[in-house]
Amino acid sequence: MSETILSIRDLKVNYGGIEAVKGISFDVPKGDIVTLIGANGAGKSSTLRAIVGLVKPKSGVIAFEGENIAGKDTTNIVSRGITLVPEGRRIFPDLTVYENLRVGAYMRSDDIAPDVNWVYELFPRLKERSWQPGGTLSGGEQQMLAVGRALMSRPKLMMMDEPSLGLAPLIVRDIFSIIKEINKRGVTILLIEQNANMALSTADTGYVLETGRITMSGAGKELLVNEAVKAAYLGT
């Protein structure tokens, strides 16, 4: 068993007056790719938002590197090494690509040049468009920028909210191969996806979330062949 970087116990989150997450528990082992899959409204995004502190959880424990961070503010949580690639990318449209990356490194005061170079290495397209406003990029490029921006904080844990949303299948494949590459560099990844096929074949561990509860869990490859998962999420 490897070390656990993030451990969630009995997390409950209210969102917009309803209980979106109804007491879930799961672990993210250090260095792994873990995915939460589930339909719309299953509570996936609310879980991520609670972890990074954008919404305050109602109850439960979010232990990051052994310390409970539930209810702490986002600035504090980000400085501990958690970052979120938000749903719908949410890059800063009027800032240039380079400025977007610099904002990603906002919490850091050390030299960011090596990280910029790494991001440009991962996504050569971003280097070409370095002085272009983020809003002029294509959807796929914006997703690359969102991932690159998140990497700029030198995260230990990168959480991604639906990175494949609205992207062409070919670009989705690119993004996932880059996710694997980032993971190889030692960044733990927590991924939530509706594209269960892609997510489960990439992830070491998967959890299935249904209406705020975890109903199934297992190795990514196992879930991929599980009959119930197949019927509900893979459409086969």
Partner 1 sequence: MKKKSKLELWIAFGAIALIYIAVAVLEQTVDANHIIFTVLKKGAIYSLVAVSMNLLNGFTGLFSLGQAGFMLIGAYTYSIFTMPVEVKMTEQVYKYYASAIHFDTGIFIGLVCAGLAAALFAALIGLPVLRLKSDYLAIATIGFAEIIRAIFQWDVLGPVTNGANVMREYLDLTDVKIPFTDIPFPPTLYVFLAAGVCIALIVLLINSSYGRAFKAIRDDEIAAEAMGINLFKHKEMSFIISSFFAGVSGALLAMYQYTVQAAQFKSAMTYEILLIVVIGGIGSVSGSCIASFLYIAASEWWLRGLDMGKFLGIESASLFRSGFRRFVFSIIIMLIVLFFSKGLMGDKEISFGGLIRRFNRNKPAKTAKGGGIDA
Which residue of 39, 95, 171, 216 would you call a contact of partner 1, by CB under 8 A? Answer: 95
Let me know how long the chain is.
236
Minimum distance of partner 1 from residue 36's CB (angstroms)? 18
65 binds partner 1 (CB under 8 A): no
74 binds partner 1 (CB under 8 A): yes
Report how many residues bind partner 1 under the rule CB under 8 A. Answer: 28
75 binds partner 1 (CB under 8 A): yes
Residues 152-171 close enough to bind partner 1 by CB under 8 A: 153
Q: Largest alpha-carbon pair distance within the chain?
A: 50
59 binds partner 1 (CB under 8 A): no
The stretch near partner 1 (CB under 8 A) out of 98-106, 169-177, 179-187, 190-198 is 98-106
Residue among 132 and 217 whose Cβ is closer to partner 1: 132
Residue among 49 and 205 whose Cβ is closer to partner 1: 49
127 binds partner 1 (CB under 8 A): no
Spatial distance between the Cα atoms of 116 and 110, rounded to a whole number of angstroms: 12
54 binds partner 1 (CB under 8 A): yes
**Cβ neighbours for 63, distance < 8 A, ≥ 6 positions apart:** 6, 7, 8, 9, 69
**Radius of gyration of the chain, Cα coordinates, nearest whole angstrom:** 17
CB 73 within 8 Å of CB 54: no
Spatial distance between the Cα atoms of 177 and 202, rounded to a whole number of angstroms: 8
Residue among 68 and 136 whose Cβ is closer to partner 1: 136
CB 139 within 8 Å of CB 169: no
Which residue of 5, 21, 84, 122 would you call a contact of partner 1, by CB under 8 A? Answer: 84
Give per-residue burial for 69-101: e unless 16+ CB within 10 Å, then b: bbebeeeebbeebbbbbbbebebbeebbbbbbb
What's the token pair of residue 94?
A: 């009027």
Minimum distance of partner 1 from residue 91's CB (angstroms)? 7
Q: Which residues bind partner 1 (CB under 8 A)?
A: 52, 54, 73-75, 77-79, 83-84, 86, 90-96, 99, 102-104, 106-107, 131, 133, 149, 153
